């Protein structure tokens, strides 16, 4: 039994539909979840950074009001600077990762949509030609 060209087209269309669905399920959705997770972590980190900055500011003001030795104030300022610098480095890393993955996500979404559209078109045309072929055969038998 040989397949006709439109049947091959229908088969390729169905394979494209399956491929686009698999790409979306196994790559695109996990990528979206990872981006959302990183954005959530970034928001939490930003909140912690602001809170730590305020905490260190209050600590420094308390030391100044208590007329603490200058070396204690300098040590607290150094800890504040180091801690906030660590957060700024992490902010940059998270932002770089999220931005690079969002571009990939956009491209893959376009590819998935194109594969789905092409697969639907091929499967639909193949099915239509199959029905027309069956109608011709049924009409010639009468």
Query: Would the pTM count as exceeding 0.85?
Result: no
For residue 102, name the pLDDT band (cuts at 50, 70, 90).
confident
* Residue 20 CB coordination number (10 Å): 21
pLDDT surpasses 90 at 78: yes
Q: Across residues 73-80, what is the average pLDDT? A: 93
Model pLDDT, residue 35: 84
In the prediction, which pLDDT does 95 show? 73
Could you tell me the two tokens for 58?
């209050």
Assess whether pLDDT exceeds 70 at residue 91.
Answer: no
pLDDT reported for residue 131: 87
More confident residue, 24 or 90: 24
Helix (H, G, I), strand (E, B) or coil at 67: coil
* For residue 89, pLDDT beyond 90: no
pLDDT band at 87 (very low <50, low <70, confident <90, very high): confident
pLDDT digits (tens, 9 = 90+) for 8-24: 888 899 999 999 989 88
Q: Could you tell me the two tokens for 61?
A: 């003001």
Query: Are the C-beta atoms of 90 and 45 separated by less than 8 Å?
Result: yes
Residue 2 confidence (pLDDT) above 60: yes
In this prediction, residue 73 carries a pLDDT of 92
Closest CA to 64 of 128, 32, 56: 56
């Amino acid at each position: 039994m040989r397949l006709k060209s439109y049947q091959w087209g229908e088969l390729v269309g169905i394979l494209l539909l399956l491929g686009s669905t698999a790409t979306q399920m196994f790559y695109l959705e996990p990528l979206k979840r990872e981006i959302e997770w990183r954005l959530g972590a970034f928001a939490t980190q930003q909140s912690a950074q602001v809170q730590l900055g305020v905490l260190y500011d209050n600590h420094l003001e308390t030391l100044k009001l208590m007329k603490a030795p200058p070396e204690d104030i300098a040590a607290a300022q150094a800890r504040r600077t180091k801690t906030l610098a660590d957060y700024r480095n992490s902010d940059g890393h998270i932002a770089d990762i999220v931005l690079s993955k969002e571009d990939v996500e956009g491209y893959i979404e376009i590819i998935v949509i194109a594969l789905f559209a092409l697969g639907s078109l091929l499967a639909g045309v193949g099915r239509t030609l199959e029905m027309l072929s069956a109608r011709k055969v049924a009409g010639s038998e009468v």
